[in-house]
């Protein structure tokens, strides 16, 4: 009986640990911008923050375009400007294009580049 109770306790401890790990993921929502390639994306989130998004697998961002509104699950954001992080998932909320950015979002985005992008 003690053995069964121990196995059940260990099982629930493992489930609690694994669930807690998923809770460490952060979620951001905003518009994507791609510079020359789709190897990385710059997210302009709802608060106006900029975050460089990287993916573990090559071609991860191929189905997205600049201006798309997305919900992104990612790891911790590194303390740099713009912040940087690896994505775990990206969900398309709304198709967009370069004209989907508000003027304020576009100004923040352009400030990152030596040669600002054109709409």
Profile the chain (119 residues) by mean pLDDT over runs of 10 residues.
Answer: 63 51 76 91 92 93 96 94 95 97 94 87
CATH of the domain at 65: 2.40.50.140
pTM of the predicted structure, to 2 decimals:
0.77
Query: What is the C-alpha separation between 105 and 48, in angstroms, rounded?
Result: 6
Residue 1 included in any domain = no
Work out the burial of residue 24: count CB atoms within 10 Å of its CB; fewer than 13 is exposed, 13-18 middle, 19 or more buried. Answer: exposed
Is 32 within the bounds of a domain?
yes
* 45 within a domain of the structure (yes/no): yes
> Quick check: is 94 in a domain?
yes
User: Is 9 inside a domain boundary?
Assistant: no
Domain-embedded: residue 81: yes
Alpha carbon of residue 80 to chain centroid:
15
């Amino acid at each position: 009986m003690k053995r069964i109770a121990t196995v059940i306790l260990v099982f629930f401890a493992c489930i609690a640990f694994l669930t807690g790990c998923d809770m460490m993921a952060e979620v951001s929502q905003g518009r994507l911008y791609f510079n020359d390639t789709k190897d990385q994306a710059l997210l302009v989130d709802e608060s106006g923050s900029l975050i460089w998004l990287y993916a573990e697998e090559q071609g991860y961002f191929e189905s997205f375009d600049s201006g798309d509104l997305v919900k992104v699950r990612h790891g911790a954001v590194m303390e740099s400007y713009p912040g940087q992080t690896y994505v775990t998932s990206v969900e398309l909320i709304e198709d967009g294009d370069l004209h989907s950015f508000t003027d304020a979002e576009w100004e923040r985005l352009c400030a990152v580049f030596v040669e600002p992008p054109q709409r």
